[in-house]
Amino acid sequence: MKLQLVALGIALLVMFYFLKKQGGDDFPLWPAYLSQGITFGGGLLGITYGALSASWDPLRDGSTLGWSEFKVNLPIFLSRKQGQ
């Protein structure tokens, strides 16, 4: 699902480019900005959650949605980021 959002964002970017070229100055830019924010932002959040919700312990199975792993991995990630 995450990569489909990014692919949709790229397809919408091409579509809005051609609409802007054909429509000239009459075509508003806010639909392009809104759709790019939703698709690329959603893809970024999904990829980030996917990485943080995975079980980083190879001896332990993760849960279905990964919420318990996310709660464990997020403080580890943030503490390492603050240490840099």
32-42: average pLDDT: 89
One-letter amino acid at 83 equals: G
> Which pair of tokens denotes residue 60?
């332990």
CB 3 within 8 A of CB 37: no
Q: Give pLDDT, residue 75.
A: 92
Domain boundaries, the chain: 2-83
**Whole-angstrom distance, CA of residue 24 vs CA of residue 32:** 14
Position 76, amino acid: I
Q: Which residues of 30-61 are buried (b: 16+ CB within 10 A; e: fewer)?
A: eebeebeeebbebbeebeebeebbeeeeeeee
pLDDT at position 30, please?
A: 87
- pLDDT, tens digit (0-9, with 9 covering 90-100), for 40-75: 888 888 888 988 998 877 888 878 888 989 998 899
Q: Tell me, what's the pLDDT at 28?
A: 82
